[in-house]
């Protein structure tokens, strides 16, 4: 499990939050209880609160650093946060809405985990998720190619590189197979980023972080320098910013 840096993650909070806003906009009903799986530093609780002012929000995250930040910044009496692994976590009571933003790609066999969690959704409740679908993008391809070279390869293995590559169809099949009404789609965001190495800054807080942490001091800095160079070539800086295309898969399903 990588050590997550809330400050680095929140550096692109607006861009990272946009898919979550688009996701919950498609959720029907008025849930009284909401679980946010992979809640991170808790910055999206206010988005849920704005949509459902009276709901009880329970955030779950496997990162002690993220949960610590969420708890420290929490001023919402109807929100709380728990340190737990979503792959084994289960609520004690049925939940009206389970929502997850860019978390399930980190869990091996996550479709089975989602199916298990569906049993904890109350009748008439919903399950809403969003996952990146960008493993074929330049940022991840270059990360894999560079990490496969020596002297880096001896420190990096598949656990740092593999993520879910599921497109929309498996989520539709999962929810429809359970008899739920499912709304599944894919969107590619064109994030316009500022700065000299914005794509590196973005991915070093998420997808590349396990690789960077697997490298020893000294070698990590060399890897970062090489990675910055190839990312600049793949994502050229323009007068108005650097464009990072980012495809994401969404699924909102409602239990009968």
pTM: 0.89
DSSP, collapsed to helix, strand or coil, labels residue 8 as: helix
Residue written as token pair 């739920």: 180
What pLDDT score was predicted for residue 169?
Answer: 96
**CA 232 from centre of chain:** 24
- Residue 209 is predicted with a pLDDT of 84
Structural domains in the chain, CATH included, are 6-254 (3.40.50.150)
Percent share of the chain, pLDDT over 70? 91
For residue 204, pLDDT over 80 is answered with yes
Q: Do residues 232 and 187 touch, judged by C-beta distance below 8 A?
A: no
Distance (Å, rounded) from C-alpha 207 to C-alpha 35?
24
* Gyration radius of the chain's alpha carbons: 19
Looking at residue 11, its pLDDT comes to 47
Residue 71 host element (H or E): helix 64-72
- Could you tell me the CA-to-CA distances from 24 to 50, 81, 126 in Å, in that order? 11, 19, 10
CA distances from 161 to 91, 156, 203, 210 (A): 30, 8, 13, 8
Whether 118 contacts 178, CB under 8 Å: yes
Q: Which helix (H) or strand (E) segment is 242 a member of?
A: strand 242-254
Lowest mean pLDDT, pick from 20-34, 46-60, 82-96, 154-168:
154-168
How large is the average pLDDT for residues 27-50?
A: 95
Q: What are the tens digits of pLDDT across the range 1-17? A: 454 455 554 444 577 78
Give the separation between CA 166 and CA 193, rounded to whole angstroms: 26
Distance CA 57, CA 74 (A): 12
Question: Strand, coil or helix: what is 90?
Answer: coil
Q: The tokens 């679908």 sit on which residue?
A: 133
User: For residues 65 and 10, what is the distance between their CA atoms, to the nearest angstrom?
Assistant: 13
CB 121 within 8 A of CB 98: yes
Q: Is the pLDDT of residue 165 over 70?
A: no
Does the pLDDT value for residue 238 go beyond 70?
yes
Percentage of the chain modeled with pLDDT above 90: 82
Q: Which two tokens stand for residue 254?
A: 């409602």
What six digits make up the tokens of 207? 């997808």
């Amino acid at each position: 499990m990588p050590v997550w840096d809330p400050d680095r993650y929140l550096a692109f909070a607006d861009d990272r939050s946009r898919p979550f806003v688009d996701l919950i906009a498609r959720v029907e009903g008025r849930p009284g209880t909401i679980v946010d799986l992979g809640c991170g530093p808790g910055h999206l609780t206010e988005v849920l609160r704005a949509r459902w002012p009276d709901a009880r929000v329970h955030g779950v995250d496997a990162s002690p650093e993220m949960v610590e930040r969420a708890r420290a910044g929490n001023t919402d009496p109807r929100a709380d946060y728990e340190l737990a692994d979503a792959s084994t976590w289960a609520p004690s009571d049925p939940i009206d809405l389970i929502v997850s933003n860019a978390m399930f790609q980190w869990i091996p066999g996550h479709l089975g985990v989602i199916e298990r969690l569906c049993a904890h959704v109350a009748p008439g409740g919903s399950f809403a998720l969003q996952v990146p679908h960008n493993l074929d993008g330049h940022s991840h391809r270059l990360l894999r190619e560079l990490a496969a070279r020596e002297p880096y390869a001896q420190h990096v293995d598949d656990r740092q590189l593999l993520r879910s590559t599921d497109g929309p169809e498996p989520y539709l099949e999962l929810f429809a197979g359970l008899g739920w009404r499912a709304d599944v789609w894919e969107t590619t965001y064109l994030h316009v980023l500022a700065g000299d190495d914005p794509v590196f800054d973005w991915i070093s807080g998420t997808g590349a972080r396990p690789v960077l942490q697997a490298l020893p001091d000294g070698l990590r800095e060399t890897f970062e320098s090489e990675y910055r160079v190839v990312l600049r070539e793949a994502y050229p800086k323009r007068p108005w910013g650097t464009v990072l295309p980012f495809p994401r898969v969404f699924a909102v399903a409602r239990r009968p």
